[in-house]
Amino acid sequence: MNVRLILLVALLSVSAAAPAKKYETPMPLAQDLQVEVILNQQELGVDVPATASSVGAQFGLLGALIGATITAGQVANAEKRVAEIRNVLVDYRFNDNFERQLRAKLASEGISPNPQFTFMATPWDAYSATKAGKLAADGVLIITPRYSITNNFEVLKVSLNARFVNRKFKPNGKMKEKNLVMSWYSFQFPLTKLDGSYATEDAQRWIDLGRQEMHGLLDQGITQVVDMMVYEFSAEGRQAAKTKTKAKAKNTLLKGKPYWGWSLRETPDWIWLREWGVLGITGYYPVDGLTKAAGTASPVAASAAADSATPATDADSSQ
């Protein structure tokens, strides 16, 4: 009896110590991958630092109330200044340009040779369609893009959240999703800091760039984050993600300023970095924010215009 008990305890100990099997991302994700794209942003967003959460964590309920007030004040302040920037972007078609880039580039070795797109305006549309049984219940890539500016007007950025999920339905009809892979991609345009400049001056520098340059920056950001996602799921990107910890992260100088991380791609104008503890890639393209001469376009605007001219497929918005 004692021998049996000892053996049982030993077996349980071995089982408990055995590491869980690590999920291996399939290559490609699927032959006819269901891709849900949530295009829920209609204008430039404003990013506010997580002041409220940090204050709340330190000072409890009172801190949370104070933090919420601080955040509300920051948002209100930024909203007044960002209105003029939004006027520069009033005719910018972020969602259309993003859809065009996805359709042109997502068919790839690491993602899917034949992606099946469904484009939706809000997360609620996605949930309603899923609940009604209209969308795939397993192996779905969910993409949510965003474009924004920080509330101090120092950084303009385009970002993309990608989630590869298994979706199941319980007998009671409720949906359960399990994230298999989740990554963030961000391409940032930090504004070169001028001596004595504050948020008001920084906001004006973006406005002074003008319509063509601002549109070009956002087009370039869209191009970059889609390229990042395609790269990371490629054979080259997957291998780089596995081997990054063998080399030490370091500062990479770009236009005289250091950026920390594992360098994936470098050019004289921009870089891609993978940061410690972050799933995904961050890119940087510093801009001086100085007024462009009338009738001229920077290399960013010219390059982005060429990319955005890539013809979209004839497919409907939903397949």
Query: Could you give the CA distance from residue 317 to residue 40 in angstroms, rounded to a whole number?
Result: 15
Would you state the pLDDT for residue 46?
A: 86
Q: Answer yes or no: is 105 within a domain.
A: yes
- Whether residue 110 sits in one domain with residue 156: yes
Q: Which of 36, 71, 87 finishes a domain?
A: 87
In-domain check, residue 13: no
- What is the pTM (predicted TM-score) of this model? 0.77
Question: Is the residue at 11 inside a domain?
Answer: no
**295 part of a folded domain:** yes
Same structural domain, 219 and 275: yes
pLDDT at residue 276 in the model: 64
Same domain, 61 and 165: no
Q: How far is CA 233 from the centre of its chain?
A: 15
The two three-digit tokens of residue 159, written as one number:
């970002």
Question: Are the beta carbons of 102 and 117 closer than 8 angstroms?
Answer: yes
d(CA 162, CA 150) in angstroms, rounded, equals 22
**34 shares a domain with 182:** yes
For the record, the structure tokens of 39 come out as 């295009």
The whole-number mean pLDDT for each consecutive block of 10 residues of the chain, a chain of 319 residues, reads 45 45 82 92 82 44 42 61 89 96 96 94 73 70 94 92 86 78 94 64 88 95 97 91 70 88 91 78 86 40 44 38
Q: Same domain, yes or no, for 119 and 220?
A: yes
Return d(Cα 112, Cα 93) in angstroms, integer.
26
Q: How far is CA 26 from the centre of its chain?
A: 21
**What's residue 107's pLDDT?**
96
| pLDDT score, position 280 | 86
Last residue of a domain, one of 68, 87, 106: 87
pLDDT of residue 222: 97
Same domain, 241 and 135: yes
CA distance 254 to 287: 11
Q: What pLDDT sits at residue 235?
A: 94
Backbone angles phi, psi at 45, to 5 degrees: -90, 165
Measured CA distances, 135 to 110, 113, 142, 174 (Å)? 22, 19, 12, 14
Residues 220, 268, single domain; the answer is yes
Answer yes or no: is 139 within a domain. Answer: yes
H, E, C per residue of the chain? CHHHHHHHHHHHHHHHHCCCCCCCCCCCCCCCCEEEEECCCCCCEEECCCHHHHHHHHHHHHHHHHHHHHHHHHHHHHHHHHHHHHHHCCCCCHHHHHHHHHHHHCEECCCECCCEEEEECCHHHHHHHHHCCCCCCCCEEEEEEEEEEECCCCEEEEEEEEEEEEEEECCCCCEEEEEEEEEEEEEEEEECCCCCCCHHHHHHHHHHHHHHHHHHHHHHHHHHHHHHHHHHHCHHHHHHHHHHHHCCCEEEEECCEEEEEEEEEECCCCEEEECCCCCEEEEECCECCCCCCCCCCCHHHHHHHHHHCCCCCCCCCEC
A 10 A CB-CB count for 180 gives: 17
Q: What is the pLDDT of residue 202?
A: 83
User: Same structural domain for residues 38 and 55?
Assistant: no
pLDDT at 251: 85
Same domain, 269 and 304: yes
Kindly state whether residues 99 and 211 are assigned to the same domain. yes
The answer to the question of residue 2 being in a domain is no
How many Cβ atoms from other residues are within 10 Å of residue 35's Cβ?
23
In terms of residue numbers, what domain contains 296?
A: 25-44+89-308
In a domain, 210, yes or no: yes
143 and 69 both lie in a single domain: no
The answer to whether residue 136 sits within a structural domain is yes
Same domain? For 211 and 144 the reply is yes
Q: What is the count of structural domains for the chain?
A: 2
